[in-house]
Chains A and B, each alone.
Chain A
Amino acid sequence: MRAVCWFGEHDVRVENVPDPQIVNPRDAIVRVTATAICGSDLHLYDGVIPTMQAGDILGHEFMGEVVEKGAAVNNLAVGDVVVVPFNIACGGCWYCKHEQFSLCDNSNPNAWMAETLYGHAPSGLFGYSHMLGGYAGGQAEFVRVPFADTGLFRVERDLPAEKVLFLTDIFPTGYQAAENCNIQEGDTVAVWGCGPVGQFAIRSALMLGAERVVAIDEVPERLQMATAAGAETIDFTGEKVYEALMDITGGRGPDACIDAVGLEAHGATLDALYDRVKVAVYMATDRAHVLRQAIRVCRKGGTVSIPGVYGGLIDKFPMGPAFGKALTLKMGQTHVHRYLPKLMEHIRNGDIDPSFVVTHRFGLDDAAEAYATFHEQRDGCVKVVLQP
């Protein structure tokens, strides 16, 4: 089969690789009908996530049709159309039973790697480094899905793929980010990063009752998309973010701040430059400019919610302001499985049509061009869908 493979920094290629096979009784093989490139795939593309190996198949946002299933998969039939959560969860451990699926104890065969770096291992992910499982990803024609009886979520065959594809990651991720803000009546939520996750965070915050949402970015197309959702916007190249947010909130600061950027934040400030230098000489791994800004501007007693990915160590973390203002910090990979029924309902009811985020479509064979387009934000690119 053909698959998008990672070979190093800014080097992805479509290769012919063996078809996946059923290995365990709870496996299923899914024929991929649509897959997307995630903003977090760009961290892999930039080579900033450790334990990738040349030849790894990328991709963790995919849907398709069940073509084979293992002997223990009883709740699905061959031919079912399914979306696949990006994290792999066993359904049987303490964490899964408590709906903390992204913390599953049993789905990461390379748990020792993550334990060495993190102390404990989060769940395995599709196509996202060996430390996080070493599983082959979904930017391919076929994928082996472990624990398919827990992971696969059946959707109606007649729904357009682009309406349901983002249930695999970015819609629940934006939603969880907003839910983590514990939004109360009258709240203002500030969202850094108007990429796909930021877009879903903006819409989710409004669905969850936020009074105002302020979106921060520099790319005109992304800011327009945020405006279309009903957000106010700040272009950080033309305005000072702290001053603008303080002005918008009458000097209170946003009740909640969402960092939908993560470890590769860039900006023109002194601390952003400092981060670049530190990372360049391997004294830190993550650049946390957005996180620092969010902590500084968040109102006293407010919440900083972090759906953006961090991988290692950050320097100059403003613990004093976070402590002094008694902030709540919420973060982590998304417990996708937990949100699927609820968000599917929102899609069916017409509360949201996730396909708004798609700006580019490529064939799987053009993946290299697709990655470059997304990475360089060429041509107003916000979200790329690949068609196998």
Chain B
Amino acid sequence: MHLRTALEAAGDTHQNIGTIERALSVAVGAKLVWSGLKRGRSISGQLLSAAGSYLTYRGISGFCPAYAALDGSAPGPLSLFVSEIRVSEAVTIDRPAEELYGFWRDLGNLPRVMPHVQQVTVLDERRSHWRVDGPGKSSMEWDARITADEPNTYIEWASEEGIYLQHRGAVEFESAPADRGTIVRVMLLYRPLGGAVAAFLAKVFHRAPSQEIREDLRRFKQLMETGEIATAEGPSARRAVTPAETDSEDSRRPRLRSSVQPVDLHEDEPLRRGDACDPVDEAALESFPASDPPSWNG
């Protein structure tokens, strides 16, 4: 069964909280977030914010995973911790499907557009080994297997049995109308460790998978359409000037260097979140809203 069919069959979460409780949940949640934010970056502040965000989310969505687990409307009492997360994101890229499929099918390319993926090692025609950023500074590794491969149209994969982050994923390449290029749709179905709670906390702390995939797809589009990934890396007055960076003798100097080293994206280590390479990003991370996608955008 194609993953898309599986996604549609999985259905949506339903509402299981009454109107008054939802309103209360939002009000109390918002208050907790506010109190948490006021405590700044302390652990207690972050926990308060997280709890507040959870209550707010619960109120706005009208769905409480705990209730679902308790009243049996979810498959079992453990569903709070093992529930499946579904993600589907799409982007339209002005390049032919063959080219986009070709880039993606060569799995070793993917870290170029997915900064959280450290490395993909192709083991054979079907199998690959993945190493991605985990919580904190850790990394997570697994093997994946391509389970369906229709040239220029569709690739589906699944993690091998026995790992703690089980998932199935697929990418679909479909012609957009007239001259609009190719629609690339990525779908993921996975069971995160800790289920809904972990997924929600990930979302609170800016690791929402839908947002991450959307940004991956944006970088993929940039690379395919322009040959590079856009960055605002550049100077600002937020970073001290070191003597090496500016020529102090004459600031009006004509600067005619010969030619510069070509930047080869192929050999570059992909930028990783948290790398202190962009002063703008660096400073942005210091202040909210940061240039890290916010959880509420997912």
Contact = CB atoms under 8 A, between A and B. Distances in A.
B273 to A, nearest CB: 13
Nearest to B236: A55
Contacts, number: 173
Given A2-B251, A70-B262, A70-B263, A53 B235 contact: no
11 contacts: A5-B237, A18-B245, A24-B263, A26-B228, A54-B237, A68-B260, A70-B262, A70-B263, A92-B226, A136-B234, A141-B252
Contacts of A1: 235, 246, 251
Contacts of B283: 53, 55
Q: Chain A interface residue count: which class?
A: 35 or more
Interface residues of B, number: 53
Interface stretch (B82-90, B129-137, B142-150, B288-296): B288-296
A325 to B, nearest CB: 34
A57 B94 contact: no
A135 B245 contact: no
Contact of B232 (A2, A22, A93, A136): A136
B221 interface: yes
Given A18-B235, A20-B235, A112-B297, A72 B246 contact: no
B35 to A, nearest CB: 22
A201 B211 CA distance: 42
Given A53-B283, A91-B226, A108-B230, A25 B241 contact: no
Interface in B250-286: 251-252, 254-257, 259-260, 262-265, 279-280, 283-284
Contacts of A53: 236, 238, 280, 283-284, 287
B194 interface: no
Contacts of B94: 92-94, 97
A24 B221 contact: no
B218 interface: yes
A253 interface: no
Given A106-B225, A124-B230, A134 B251 contact: no
Interface stretch (A142-150, A290-298, A349-357): A142-150
Contacts of B227: 25-26, 72, 92
A202 interface: no
B263 A71 contact: yes
Q: Is the interface of A mostly helix, strand, loop or mixed?
A: loop
Contacts of B254: 31, 65, 67
B91 to A, nearest CB: 9
B226 A106 contact: yes
B291 to A, nearest CB: 5
Interface string B167-206: 0000000000001110000000000000000000000000
Interface in A1-26: 1-3, 5, 7, 13, 15-20, 22-26
Interface string A94-124: 1001000000011111111101100000001
B261 to A, nearest CB: 8
B124 interface: no
B239 interface: yes
Interface string A64-103: 0101111110000011000000000011111001000000
Contacts of B238: 53-55
Contact of A133 (B232, B239, B251): B232
A169 interface: no
B231 A19 contact: no
A90 B224 CA distance: 11
A116 B225 contact: no
Nearest to A72: B227
B235 A23 contact: no
B190 to A, nearest CB: 22
Interface of B: 92, 94, 179-181, 211, 214-215, 218, 221-222, 225-239, 241-242, 245-247, 251-252, 254-257, 259-260, 262-265, 279-280, 283-284, 287, 289, 291, 293-294, 297
A56 interface: yes
Residue among A1, A65, A106 with the highest chain B CB neighbour number at 10 A = A106
Contacts of B289: 51, 113
B255 A56 contact: no
Interface in A350-378: none
A112 B283 CA distance: 17
A26 B235 contact: no
A62 B297 CA distance: 35
Contact of A130 (B230, B257, B291): B291
A115 B235 contact: no
A69 B256 CA distance: 11
A125 to B, nearest CB: 11
Nearest to A15: B237
B203 to A, nearest CB: 15
Given A22-B260, A53-B238, A130-B232, 7 more contacts: A3-B237, A13-B237, A51-B289, A70-B260, A107-B230, A108-B230, A142-B255
Closest 6 CB pairs of A and B: A71-B262, A55-B238, A55-B237, A136-B234, A134-B232, A18-B245
A25 B231 contact: no
Contacts of A147: 226
Contacts of A17: 235-237, 239, 241
Nearest to A67: B255
A105 B221 contact: yes
A53 B236 CA distance: 10
Contacts of A23: 231, 233-234, 263
B232 A94 contact: no
B222 A106 contact: yes
Contacts of B232: 109-110, 124, 130, 133-136
A18 B225 contact: no
A140 B236 CA distance: 11
A321 B72 CA distance: 56
A115 B217 CA distance: 15
A58 to B, nearest CB: 11
